[in-house]
Amino acid sequence: MKNLLFLCLITSFLALACARAPYHVRSPNSKIIVLPETEKGRTTQSYVIDGKRYYPLSNADGFTQLGQASWYGSKFHGRPTASGEIYDMYKKSAAHKTLPLGTYVKITNLRNNKFTIVRVNDRGPFVKGRVIDLSYEAAKEIELVGPGVVDVKIVALGRKVGELKSATGSKPLVEIKDLEEGDFTIQVGAFLDQNNALLLADRLKVIFDYVRVMIAVDRNGELMHRVHASLSKTMTRAEEIEKRLEEMGFTSAFIVRN
C-alpha cells in the first residue's frame, strides 16, 4: 500500500518536470599520458581544431559511445548554451549529457562512415535513446539532417599539452580525463515552482538517501529548482539508477556529474 501511494504521488509530478535547462559540470581530474604507438610506430592520426592539435584516445583511457544522434536548429538558435556561449546552428557544436563542457569529440555516422569533429558546449539530448545532439552545421557534414536520427560512434579527443623527447623522436603528451569515475547524481525533474520541487524531493527521500533541490537560472532568466536524487561513484552505477527512475515513469531523468 505504501509503495502504491508513493507511485501515485510520483505520477502527479511527471507532467511538471522539465529537463532541458542548462547546468554546469565540474570536470573530473585529468592526467597526462604518452600517446601509444600504432602498429607502424606512428601515433594515432591527429586533428587540428582552432589551431590546437587533438589526438583520439584509446578505448581503455578515453571515452567511446555508440548510440543515436539527432540535431537541433532554429528553435534554439541565438539562445545561451549550458557553457554560456550563444548557440549558432551554422557553426559546428554538440550537446552531450555528461561529457565535460569543452570536450572535442569525433562523431562518425555509421551509415556512411562520414565524420565530423565538434566541441561539446551544451547539454542534451534529453530524449530517450539519444546520446548526442549536433548543431545543424555539424549534422549536415555527416548527412544527419535528412533522416534526423542516425546511429553514430562518439570518440573523445585528447588535447595535446606537450611532447616527450626520446631516442626514437618526439611523442605527444595528451591530457585525458577519467569519465567513468567521479560523483554522479540523477536530475529527476526541474520546476519553476519551488513547492513542486520540494514535494517531489520529499517523495524521493522514501527510496534515496541523497536528494537535493538545486537552484539555477534557465535560458529565459527564470529560477529553476532542479531535483537531484542518488549519489554514485561510477558512471555504470549512475546509469543503473537512471534506468530505475525511467522504469518508474521519469523518462526525462538524466545523469549529472557533480
pLDDT in tens, 121-166: 998 887 778 899 999 999 999 999 999 999 999 998 877 788 888 7
| Grid cell listed for 153 | 560512434
**Nearest one of 84, 118, 93 to 104, comparing CA atoms:** 118
Per residue in 38-79, pLDDT (tens digit) is 545 555 567 776 677 777 665 545 788 899 999 998 889 999
d(CA 114, CA 85): 27
| Rounded-to-integer distance, Cα 45 and Cα 170, Å | 15
Q: What is the rounded distance in angstroms from the CA atom of residue 43 to the CA atom of residue 48?
A: 15
pLDDT surpassing 80 at residue 3? no
**Angle (nearest 5°) at CA 118 between 112 and 122:** 120
Mean pLDDT (the chain) is: 80
Pairing verdict, β 30-34 and 150-166: unpaired
C-alpha grid cell, residue 34: 604518452
Q: Which residues contact 48 (CB under 8 A, 6 or more apart)?
A: 54
pLDDT of amino acid 36: 59
Task: Determine what percent of the chain falls in helix, strand and coil, rounding each to the nearest 5.
Answer: 15, 40, 40
State yes or no: pLDDT of 195 exceeds 80.
yes
Q: Which domains are present in the chain?
A: 2-26+180-257 (3.30.70.1070), 30-177 (2.40.40.10)
* Confidence tier at 236 by pLDDT (50, 70, 90): confident
Q: Residue 241 is inside which H or E element, if any?
A: helix 235-247
Query: Smallest Cα–Cα separation from 107: which of 67, 146, 147, 77?
Result: 67
Looking at residues 214-226, what average pLDDT do you find?
A: 78
Reported in sequence order, the residue ranges of 167-217 that DSSP labels E, i.e. its strands, are 169-177, 181-191, 211-217
The residue among 163 and 26 whose pLDDT is bigger is: 163
Helix (H, G, I), strand (E, B) or coil at 110: coil
Q: Report yes or no: 107 and 141 within 8 Å, Cβ to Cβ.
A: no
